[in-house]
Each structure stands twice: as C-alpha cells, then as structure tokens.
Chains A and B, each alone.
Chain A
C-alpha cells in the first residue's frame, strides 16, 4: 500500500500547490483586470496625502507602470517568497495585519466549528433515534430552517436578546468568552445545516443496509447496533464535509465580526473593501485559499487511512463506496 499511497499523497500535494497559485492568479485578475483601478485611485486620493515622489516610489516598487501580465508575475513571485506587501491604508506590512487579526478569528472559527459539529450530531442522531414521529420529523426540518436565516439576522437577534435584554455579555468587550460564544453561535448555525443534512442522509443510508437487518436478527439492541455499527460509517463522509465547511467559516466571519465588533480577519476584509486596500484583500483571499486547500488535502490524505475502501490501490477496483452526498 505504501508505494501507491505515497504516490497518491505526492500527486494530491502537487495539485494543492497548483490550486493555491491559481487562486492567487484569479484574485489578482479579479482585482486588477476588472474595470476600475483601485490602487491608483487610492494612491491619488488626496486624503492619503501622498506626495508625487512617494507615489512614484510605490508605483516603481510594485511595478504598477508595467503591463498587467508582468505585474502578475512580479506579484506572484513576491507571494511565493512570502512577501505580502504593505497595506495601502495603514502602511503596515500586510503580514503583520494578518498576524494581529488571526487569533481573534481563530478563536471565533474554532468555537463555531465545534458548535456546528455538536449541533449537526445532535440533530442527525436525534432525528434518527428519538422516539415517536413528531420530534424526529421536526428535527429533520431544522437544517432547512438553519439554511434560511441570514447570518446577520441571527447575530442581531442574539445581541438584542442576550446583550441588551438579558445582559449576558456586552458588545463593548467583544473578545470576552461569552461574547465569543455568541458570535460563534451566529456563525455555527448556518454552517451546521449542511453537515446535519449529510449525517442524516448517511444514517438513513446505513440503516437500510442488510448488515443492519442481520445484526438486528442476531438480537442486537437498537442502541448497541447504533454505537457499534452505525456511528463510524456515518461519520466518514462528514469528515470531508468538515473540511469544506472551513471555507464557509472564513466567509461568514466577515459578517459576524462586523456585527459583533471583533477585530479579526473578517473586519480586516470589510475595512479593506471600503478603502480599496488591494494588497490586504489579495492576501486575505490567498490565505483563505491556502487554509481551504490544506485542510482538504489533510482530509483527502487521512480518509484512505480511516476507510480501507478509499485506499488508492483498491479504490480503482471497487465501485463507489457507500457514501451518499445530497446534490
């Protein structure tokens, strides 16, 4: 297995690097080729008070007087060597801005991911194993409801209820543990929905399998059957889903952090958009792509180890593994 697996791992890693570089190129194209020239607009904005000499210096440093394609390669070269440039607004190195905002966003996104997984598991297993018809039926419609409420509405309602009415936290101190919890809750609710849906679909699929019938006829109780036979297969596809969700968390952070007044990556994006701070935008999008690609690479590399059916030397011989992905 090792030879095949090693080759598979190398191939996937190479693909990941290519995707990251292409994501950088795409962002560059979106920002600089589309109509409007944010860099020059910002530089010439009288509010920034840059002298003509300084402007020339910046233009020369970034090669802005050169053709777009040359600029792209210069920019890509700087990115590969880890130089993210300077913010047009604060003149601070972008790497420093990212470093300052990252801890807050990591705390938010980490808590949110944990909450989302807990919600999804409770909803999915509740829908499968609660007695009666009403409660499971209601639980099954929860993901759809979670998907229908905009992130910002959840945030505003939570603030109104828990900060203004019940005084559980104050929005003046957004980094306190309680405020972080509620911000994470805002982010977790929409994100937990697809995870719950895929868990429900997989549990449904697994409980229809014949081995379940066999196990039941051998006299296994419902709970033991669940614990011994159903948890693991239903979790496997969810691992891949968690990897996909990480990207959503970063996107949702823009709204959540703005509402809760947190100084994280999302707020950085929001400020960068308002002030057309191109280097910051470029860096954040690249960072998001790197995070997404690395997490998914990890999931792809781990899942063959967890599920023998997905091993590269066997995957080709077998048909699709027992995984249900809702369209």
Chain B
C-alpha cells in the first residue's frame, strides 16, 4: 500500500534519500564516500588503474607523482597507485576477517558470561583478564610468528587479540539487558531464557557492539598494516599497505613511496573512526 503511494508520487524516493541524508554531518558523508571508494578498489581494482601491480617498466623507475603515475613509481618502475589499489583487497578483507573473529568469539564469551553468570562467568572472566593482560600487538606478533608469516595469519592474530574487548562490552550489555524490567516481564509472561536472550538481550546489545565492531575495523587495519610493515604478512610482490610503506622507506630520495600508501591508510582509518563515532553518538 505504502509502496503504491510512493510510486504515485515520483518525488517520494529522492525525498526519502534526502531525508535520510539530512542530519548526517557532511564529514560523515565524506567518510562514507572514502570507504565506498576503498571497497570498490578491493572488489574491482582493474577498473581504477590500467597499470599492472607486479610487473613494471624499469626505464620509468622512481618517478615522482605525475598525471600518468598518480603516486609515482617504485624502484622497479611499477606504478605505485596500481600497487596500492591492488593491495586494498588483502589489507581490507584481512581487517574484516579480524573483526569477524573478534566479534563472533568475543560476543559468544561475553554473552555466556553475562547470561549464565556463576562459574561460567568466573572462568571466562579470567580468560578475558589474561587476554587483556598481554598487550594486543605483542599477542598478535606472537600468534603470527607461531602460525607463519602470511596476511591471513596476521588477520587471525589481530582477531584473537580483539576478543577480549568484544567480550567485555558484550558481557556489560548482557548484564544491563538481563537486569531490565522488560526481561523480567518476559519471564513473568512465561518466556524462557532462550526467548529472552534472542528477543530482548541480543537486540539491545546489538547497537553498541556494532559501533565497537566498526571502530575495531579501523584498529585492525592499523594492526595488520603494522604487522605487514614488520614483514609478518605476505611477502612481495604482494602489496599490502603496510608492506608498501616498509619497502618505500629504503628510498630517501623518493618520499612519495612512503607518503602515498601512508596517506591511504590514514584516510581509510580516519573515515572508519568518524563513522564509528557518529554511530555511537547517534544512538
């Protein structure tokens, strides 16, 4: 019925879009735009550059940024912009994998602690304490050194070191929802614990957990870039953003080799943080 009405009024859809967009600060829109761009780079890198990321023209090595080579070229004459664009997929998907690991395992631990209480809470609480006691980056380094130097292992390591943060938040949210009047009411109406969990606790915890997940996405990009910078990700010719910065720093005469990928990292993470902040405040 409402769909029919919308069809009758041709201005309806744009107005809806406009209404959704008003109230969104311009910086948030810009941030969203940056992230959409980054996502497109990772999905279809070939659309954005005609250069090959792996083979270069050695006659054109270490060229400064120009109209032909936006980010300049590296010591093998490879177009740096192409390398950044093709490196996006692994830099971004590995961060997504990391967040997913932290989110799923951390939320499960937090939910079990907060909902079951008792000895489960005590045991899981100590596990979280231990994960928090080891500095996140150090833990990630140890895990990746044990699993082997690959980007996917760096992602797993980053995810494991994020479990504790998610577990703590989820436990707090679960406890809050569990003690609320509407959960009590649901029990009084004959609802069982599973029903209360699915119908009341999870939907209420969802918002803040999602905001944290977005924030962790930015953090994960940084951690994975740091691991790649130290050489703990896929080896060259892979072009993870952190690895590009690491290999660029050897050429003091070609500072763009460091600044261009660094700028892409900063712009991406800044956008993620902006959106996460906005989501947190919007609730």
Contact = CB atoms under 8 A, between A and B. Distances in A.
Contact of A147 (B136, B208, B226, B273): B273
A76 B229 CA distance: 33
Interface residues of B, number: 48
A88 interface: no
Given A36-B147, A144-B270, A289-B133, A156 B258 contact: yes
B24 interface: no
Contacts of B218: 147-148
B273 A292 contact: no
B241 to A, nearest CB: 9
Interface string B239-253: 000100110010010
B135 A34 contact: no
Interface of A is mostly: helix
A19 B123 CA distance: 11
A160 B138 contact: no
Contacts of B265: 150, 153
A327 B169 contact: yes
Contact of A288 (B134, B222, B273): B134
B141 A164 contact: no
B135 A153 contact: no
A55 interface: no
B179 to A, nearest CB: 12
A104 interface: no
B255 interface: yes
A285 B269 contact: no
A68 interface: no
A250 B246 CA distance: 21
B59 interface: no
A46 B246 CA distance: 30
Contact of B145 (A148, A149, A251, A281): A281
A252 B222 contact: no
A254 interface: yes
A152 B265 CA distance: 11
Interface string A212-254: 0000000000000000000000000000000000011011101
A65 B169 CA distance: 42
A281 B134 CA distance: 12
B65 to A, nearest CB: 16
Contacts of B266: 148-150, 153
23 contacts: A22-B126, A23-B130, A23-B133, A30-B146, A31-B142, A35-B148, A36-B147, A144-B270, A144-B273, A147-B219, A148-B270, A148-B273, A150-B269, A152-B229, A152-B242, A153-B258, A247-B133, A250-B138, A254-B137, A273-B232, A285-B142, A292-B135, A327-B169
Interface of A: 15, 18-20, 22-23, 26-27, 30-31, 34-36, 38, 144-145, 147-153, 156-157, 160, 164, 247-248, 250-252, 254-255, 258, 269-270, 273, 276, 281, 284-285, 288-289, 292-293, 326-327
